[in-house]
Structure 1
Amino acid sequence: MTDMKPPSGLTPAQLPSDSRHARQLARRQLITEAVMAEGSMRIEDLTERFGISLMTAHRDLDELVSRGLLRKARGIVSAAPTSLIEASDVYRFSRQSAEKKAIASAAMQFVEPGQAIFFDDSTTVLQMVAHLSAKVPLTAITNSLILMNELNGIRDLTLLGLGGQLHNWCNAFMGRMTINEIKRLRADTLFLSMPAITEDMVFHQSPDMVETKRAMFESASKRILLADHTKFGRRALHAFADLTEFDVVIVDQLTDAAHIARMRAKGINVVIADEAMQRVAAGAELELL
């Protein structure tokens, strides 16, 4: 265990005898980082890497699972999504960051002052927060606890937080109470992202998430899907909507050209993020000339 360093920078041997809890926290942080880096690991491999017993490993993992950071099944611990389980928000934040930022920037062309907008709990939609102050006044409606905290304090932005049951793995409210609140509202636009697109159908691993986002979908006049290239061909269990049901699908430049061509052949309005930003920049330059 001497290779593990807690937040203080000290090795376990350098910590005082009463710092067992500090060593435990440091070890759990290192386990989380290791699994997120690999995507998934055998629990036996974790015991060898960190010099801990199988019982200690399971105790640590049970705590991390309860916080929604990792998933554990059949001797395997995972941070990456499967067809049945969505990844934690902590893991999702670290993936395709540049692509998500480009997609979020492109999405802002569909935001106008005075609108009421649903924002889902996705990490791609979260990237839109940095741009919203330039589009106020706005009314933002969200079930994401993280997004609520980020939006709180933006001047001239009215924040409507959707309550209900909080799910730790995504830091979002879902379920019947949340859906009932959504059904009483009508918004101009919905921005959302989903983890899987197969055969031009959007899927999610969580049925509660599907129902909650579908309520937003049905309560918004315009529906915009934000999807980086990794979502195409990925599988999940529960169908949400056909791509043709969306008004706009925004993708990044790494998206396979075959996917883009197929969607456009079906009449889907596909926006390629980086190209959209280049057109906006070119337009701004022409205005200056």
Structure 2
Amino acid sequence: MLAQQRQEAILQRVRATGGVRVSELATEFGVSDMTIRRDLDVLAERGLLAKVHGGATSAPPGATDEPGFAAKSARQRAEKTAIAGRAARLVTPGMAVALSAGTTTAELAHRLAGIAGLTVVTNSIPVAEILHRSGRPDQTVVLTGGVRTPSDALVGPVAVAAIRSLHLDLVFLGVHGMTERAGFSTPNLLEAETDRALVDAAERLVVLADHTKWGTVGISSIAPLAGAHTVVSDDRLAEEARQTLRDHVTELVLAEVGE
């Protein structure tokens, strides 16, 4: 049995019974306790269950749970680095691009600091700080106003009004989750509205989402899967997710982790 198949079976068991034990799962699937713990780690990172001593239980819905920027920065570091590296290849000197709030877009900002003549629009305080520290005189950084969220995004009517007057080549969108039904989503209603304004202002939508985002749903949808021209994820993305995305988006790019 493949790891993905085993994890799906574990998740179904948790949803059916409310909880599982590591020892029982190891015996049932004929694998080590350590293998089962790794499976539970993967499912817990996606918010699909909650790890407890000796096993796991059902996770709360979590559609409005919004970790802070620092907490999210510590997750999937290798994947975010790889995704940012591939996404930067889509940008050429002189473009006008937007970066939404998020830890993966912040990682991308470090790479955009080396590209000449860019105009970068963002509602992310960390992204603006990264680009400001680069000190490039040939770049223009536009930080929208707005109300600050736990993820250091600026949202609300002030941000939306500023964005709606712009015309951009690309928008790089970080997301909380992605599924076929909900599309790309976020746990913050105001951030969803601001992100939709960024999407509407750009010619092309590029979504940056590591493999753990698949199957996760936030309370508010930003765009359907088909609304993205390109999705940049990592090579740990499940095969089922790859096929679903290829059925909906123009281009799926899988960054090699550790590349």
- TM-score bucket (shorter structure): 0.7 to 0.9
- Per the alignment, residue 120 of structure 2 pairs with 140
Unaligned runs of 5+ residues in structure 2 are 1-48, 53-59
Offset of residue 101 of structure 1: 0.6
- Per the alignment, residue 174 of structure 1 pairs with 155
1:82 corresponds, among 57, 62, 81, to 62
Instruction: Give the number of aligned pairs.
Output: 203
Structure 1 residues 81 and 158, CA gap change in structure 2 (3 angstroms): farther
Offset of residue 204 of structure 1: 1.2
Maintained 8 Å contact 1:81/1:87: no
* Identity percentage of aligned residues: 28
- Per the alignment, residue 186 of structure 2 pairs with 204
- Per the alignment, residue 239 of structure 1 pairs with 221
Amino acid at match of 1:207: L
- Per the alignment, residue 110 of structure 2 pairs with 130
Query: Are positions 1:164 and 2:140 aligned together?
Result: no
Query: Are positions 1:108 and 2:88 aligned together?
Result: yes
- Per the alignment, residue 10 of structure 1 pairs with none
Describe the SS at the equivalent of 2:89.
helix
Structure 1 residues 88 and 207, CA gap change in structure 2 (3 angstroms): same
In the alignment, the residues of structure 1 paired with residue 90 and residue 203 of structure 2 have an alpha-carbon distance, to the nearest angstrom, of 12
Unaligned runs of 5+ residues in structure 1 are 1-38, 43-79, 279-289
Offset of residue 41 of structure 1: 10
- Per the alignment, residue 183 of structure 1 pairs with 164
Q: Deviations over 1:227-267 (max 9, x none)?
A: 10000011222122111111100110100011112222345
Bigger mean CA offset, 242-251 vs 129-138: 129-138
Q: Deviations over 1:25-59 (max 9, x none)?
A: xxxxxxxxxxxxxx9899xxxxxxxxxxxxxxxxx
In the alignment, the residues of structure 1 paired with residue 126 and residue 148 of structure 2 have an alpha-carbon distance, to the nearest angstrom, of 11
Which structure is richer in relative contact order (CA contacts within 8 A, separation 6 or more)? 2
Describe the SS at the equivalent of 2:113.
helix
Within-5 A mapping of 1:1-289: 82-154=62-134, 155=136, 156-167=138-149, 169-199=150-180, 201-274=183-256
In the alignment, the residues of structure 2 paired with residue 105 and residue 81 of structure 1 have an alpha-carbon distance, to the nearest angstrom, of 33
Describe the SS at the equivalent of 1:85.
coil
Q: Point out the structure with max Rg over C-alpha.
A: 1
Describe the SS at the equivalent of 1:87.
coil
**What is the RMSD of the two structures over their aligned residues, measured on CA atoms?**
2.6
Amino acid at match of 1:214: R
Amino acid at match of 1:111: V
Structure 1 residues 267 and 182, CA gap change in structure 2 (3 angstroms): closer
- Per the alignment, residue 74 of structure 1 pairs with none
Amino acid at match of 1:199: E
Using structure 2 for the length normalisation, give the TM-score.
Answer: 0.72
Amino acid at match of 2:114: A
Offset of residue 273 of structure 1: 1.1
Structure 1 residues 105 and 219, CA gap change in structure 2 (3 angstroms): same
Bigger mean CA offset, 219-228 vs 263-272: 263-272
In the alignment, the residues of structure 2 paired with residue 40 and residue 90 of structure 1 have an alpha-carbon distance, to the nearest angstrom, of 21
Maintained 8 Å contact 2:160/2:194: yes
